[in-house]
Amino acid sequence: MELPKFLLADNTDFPEAIFIVHTEYPRFIINLENDEVEWLEEFSEEDEADLMEEAESLIEAATAFYDREVARYDA
């Protein structure tokens, strides 16, 4: 099964939260309510340095995905 790069998710236990799931490496879930990120990968110390460089652009892309999806619903 081919998955999209980002998925929009919610949960009634967290009514204010909006989750974006990044399905490609490095996989993560971001809660747009508070910008908390949960990484779904294990990283070595060497990988963490590279990840920090890439993380900002991935989080920006997740936010842009959310904005695009909301705009499509509002249209």
User: In which band, very low, low, confident or very high, does the pLDDT at 75 lie, cut at 50, 70 and 90?
Assistant: low
Residue at 1 is within a domain: no
Here the contacts of 27-33 (C-beta below 8 Å, separation 24 or greater) are: 28/58, 30/59, 30/62, 32/63, 32/66
User: In which band, very low, low, confident or very high, does the pLDDT at 20 lie, cut at 50, 70 and 90?
Assistant: very high
pLDDT tens digits, one per residue of 49-69: 788 778 889 999 999 999 999
Residue at 35 is within a domain: yes
Domain coverage including residue 26: 6-74
Residue at 12 is within a domain: yes
Q: What's the domain count of the chain?
A: 1
**Rounded to an integer, what distance in angstroms lies between the CA atom of residue 14 and that of residue 4?**
24
Residue at 22 is within a domain: yes
**Mean of pLDDT values over 19-29:** 95
Residue at 36 is within a domain: yes
**Rounded to an integer, what distance in angstroms lies between the CA atom of residue 35 and that of residue 63?**
10
